[in-house]
Amino acid sequence: MDTTYKAIEVTSPGRFTAVDRLLKEPAPGQVRIRVEACGVCHSDLATVSGQFPGVTFPRVPGHEIIGRIEVIGEGVTKWRVGQRVGVGFFGGEDGTCEPCRRGDFVNCKSPIIPGVTVDGGYAEMMIAEARAIALIPDELGSAEAAPLLCAGVTTFNCLRNAGLRPGDLVAIQGIGGLGHLAVQFARHMGFKTVALARGADKEELAKQLGAHVYIDSAKENAAAALQRLGGADAILTTAPNGRAMGEVVGGLKEHGRLLVVGVAPDPIGVSTIPIVFGGRVISRSLSGTSIDEEDTLAFSVLQGVRPMIEPVPLAEAPAAYERMISGKARFRMVLVTGQ
Ligand SMILES: [Zn+2]
Ligand SMILES: [Zn+2]
């Protein structure tokens, strides 16, 4: 058996290096995974740019990882060698901070985040905490399952926990890596689904993904268009643009929710009037735990929800990352190994 594996490290901000690393054995409570696929997420920017608080180099990015368990660490009883599993943004909790003690693991104050606090999936191998991995259903290929572990669980969990009811009007702002999944989830959860994006060219795709209505925000005021439909019960914003998020708040009906899942470099600018008068709410959602990931995968199998992906070999990770950052990916770049 090989004693080394290939990985793509970030060695300094913005700089990728392909390296051969020595295989490591998993510590107690961990498993070693032979990676088959890893999605390239916009949040990888936090690692590559070095902006994530506490990130150190070299670091292997990637937190949408699918692979097979190759070695099991001491004390791991739930998992077997050969099982196909995934790891998302949530790589483990410390179990001791206040949110953890209240069962709120996603908001752990010192979480393990693959690709940020530990090495992630831009590699042939990774070590994961056994308590934070998800079982992958046979119906899903590895490359198509990968984006469901971050882009998927983020939007699925957000929509299912937003207090919405079947038939409610839900708008998805932005048809990209997260948005193209959110439109499918919203439709299959039974909401009247509206896609908001810029340009007429996205209309056909939005409708194919399941949108009942498409609003071209380059052509008309999205908030006014939503109000003509009766107002939105929720608007899920996926595009990393705080100004654009603020502009659609006026499209919410009374007690409607702006659901923020895209991290934007600029603040959300919102008039206080629709917040005070009408009780509109700005809310958020952050990924999910491994059982949320398994729920996302099961729902995707049940309803035929699939990401649209561009698979590329692991060695092309720097180019795939650039394509994602440039906004050209349709819709998720996924690194695949030779298996
Ligand atoms: Zn992500
Ligand atoms: Zn904690």
Q: Delimit the domains of the chain by residue range.
A: 4-150+288-336, 153-284
Distance from Cα 300 to the centre of ligand 1, integer Å: 18
Distance from Cα 273 to the centre of ligand 1, integer Å: 33
In eight-state DSSP terms, residue 212 is: S
The token duo for 144 is 């198509």
Distance from Cα 317 to the centre of ligand 2, integer Å: 32
Kindly identify the ligand whose nearest atom is closest to the C-alpha of 178. Answer: 1
Each residue's pLDDT tens digit, 11-54: 999 999 999 999 999 999 999 999 999 999 999 999 999 998 88
CATH superfamily of domain region 153-284: NAD(P)-binding Rossmann-like Domain (3.40.50.720)
Kindly identify the ligand whose nearest atom is closest to the C-alpha of 115. Answer: 1
Residues 260/261/262/265 CA torsion (nearest 10 deg): 60
The token duo for 299 is 């729902």
Tell me if 289 sits within 8 A of 105, measured CB to CB: yes
- Provide the 3-class DSSP secondary structure of residue 205: helix
The reported pLDDT for the residue numbered 339 is 54
64 vs 151: CA distance, rounded Å: 9
Distance from Cα 173 to the centre of ligand 1, integer Å: 17
Would you report the helix, strand and coil content of the chain in percent, each value rounded to 5? 30, 30, 45
State pTM to two decimals.
Answer: 0.95
Tell me if 122 sits within 8 A of 335, measured CB to CB: yes
Q: Would you place residue 262 in the very low, low, confident or very high pLDDT band (cuts 50, 70, 90)?
A: confident
45 alpha carbon, distance to own chain's centre: 13
The beta-strand segments (E) located in 3-138 are 4-12, 15-22, 30-39, 65-72, 84-87, 125-129, 134-135
210 vs 226: CA distance, rounded Å: 17
For the chain, give the mean pLDDT: 95
Distance from Cα 286 to the centre of ligand 1, integer Å: 10
Tell me if 55 sits within 8 A of 75, measured CB to CB: no
Each residue's pLDDT tens digit, 182-207: 999 999 999 999 999 999 999 999 99
Kindly identify the ligand whose nearest atom is closest to the C-alpha of 108. Answer: 2
Distance from Cα 42 to the centre of ligand 1, integer Å: 6
Beta-bridge partners for 126: 33
Query: What residues have CB less than 8 Å from 53, skipping those under 6 apart?
Result: none
The answer, yes or no, to whether the previous bond of 26 is cis (omega within 30 of 0) is no
Each residue's pLDDT tens digit, 143-176: 999 999 999 999 999 999 999 999 999 999 999 9
Kindly identify the ligand whose nearest atom is closest to the C-alpha of 101. Answer: 2
Distance from Cα 25 to the centre of ligand 1, integer Å: 26
Own/partner pairs, 15-23, CB within 8 angstroms, 24+ separation: 16/48, 16/317, 16/318, 16/321, 17/58, 18/315, 19/58, 21/123, 21/125, 23/125
The token duo for 308 is 């649209």
The token duo for 309 is 């992906």
Judged on CB neighbours under 10 Å (0-12, 13-18, 19+), 58 is middle
Residues 255/159/45/19 CA torsion (nearest 10 deg): 170
pLDDT beyond 70 at 268: yes
Distance from Cα 63 to the centre of ligand 1, integer Å: 6
Each residue's pLDDT tens digit, 95-131: 999 999 999 999 999 999 999 999 999 999 999 999 9
Beta-bridge partners for 134: 86
Distance from Cα 104 to the centre of ligand 2, integer Å: 8
Distance from Cα 131 to the centre of ligand 2, integer Å: 14
258 vs 251: CA distance, rounded Å: 10
89 vs 107: CA distance, rounded Å: 12
Distance from Cα 184 to the centre of ligand 2, integer Å: 32
pLDDT beyond 70 at 278: yes
Distance from Cα 100 to the centre of ligand 2, integer Å: 4
Using only C-alpha atoms, what is the Rg of the chain? Answer: 20
Distance from Cα 148 to the centre of ligand 2, integer Å: 24
- The DSSP H or E segment spanning 151 is helix 151-160
Kindly identify the ligand whose nearest atom is closest to the C-alpha of 107. Answer: 2
Distance from Cα 114 to the centre of ligand 1, integer Å: 10
Distance from Cα 124 to the centre of ligand 2, integer Å: 29
CATH superfamily of domain region 4-150+288-336: Medium-chain alcohol dehydrogenases, catalytic domain (3.90.180.10)
Distance from Cα 270 to the centre of ligand 1, integer Å: 26
